[in-house]
Amino acid sequence: MIRKIGFVLTTFVLFSAASFSQLNVLKLKDSHGRNYYSKTPRNYYSKADIPASWYFAAIVNPMLVVEDKKVFFGLTKEISAGVFPYGRLAFEYSYIFRSYNTSHLRFSYNYDFILEAGDFVGIIATPGIGYFTDTKNDGWFIQGSFGALLGPGEPLMFNPYIKYRHTFTTEKTKSDINDISIGVGFAFFL
């Protein structure tokens, strides 16, 4: 098991030469200068107008974990990929600073809602659902994040956000887990 966790950590380090925030696959304007997220109905644009490229991102951020009526500090890193507007898949590793069950692994599907978009700012809300394991227990979780994409658009945007997650564990003797994290990073568009 230690070798597997070591492999996962090594993979994270290799894929995060530049740490940046949650992937939010967003182009503020298309190649014709039209705003994708105006008040115009979605079916106004043809499928050819929707970006079809995959995007990748990784994050590092601090988190507070509430488990068994105790509060722990942790660090988490996420790699996600997606195609707008279909959502994105994410893999996340969290290290919790305590003497037991220090590693949390999560696999999730997230969907980015564009609440508002302008030339330099995009406000986004992202609900998600996924699978959780700490190598001894498992379960599923729901999460939500709220943030902004700041900058002129492709290929790089600054991304501050806050995320809350509730994990339901399948082990009846174990309490559910709540965590909250804040992060600041960069979203890269390929």
Report the DSSP beta bridge partners of residue 148: 123
The domain ranges of the chain are: 2-30+55-188
- The architecture of the domain spanning 2-30+55-188 is Beta Barrel (2.40)
Torsions phi, psi of 12, nearest 5? -60, -45
pLDDT in tens, the chain (190 residues): 566 555 555 554 444 433 333 333 444 444 455 554 444 444 333 444 444 344 556 678 899 999 989 999 999 988 887 777 788 899 999 999 999 889 999 999 999 888 988 778 889 899 999 999 998 889 999 999 998 888 776 677 777 889 999 999 998 888 999 999 988 766 766 6
Maximum CA extent, the chain:
57
Q: Which pair of structure tokens corresponds to residue 71? A: 């509060």
C-alpha 32/C-alpha 26 separation (Å) is 16
Torsions phi, psi of 148, nearest 5? -140, 150
C-alpha 149/C-alpha 113 separation (Å) is 12
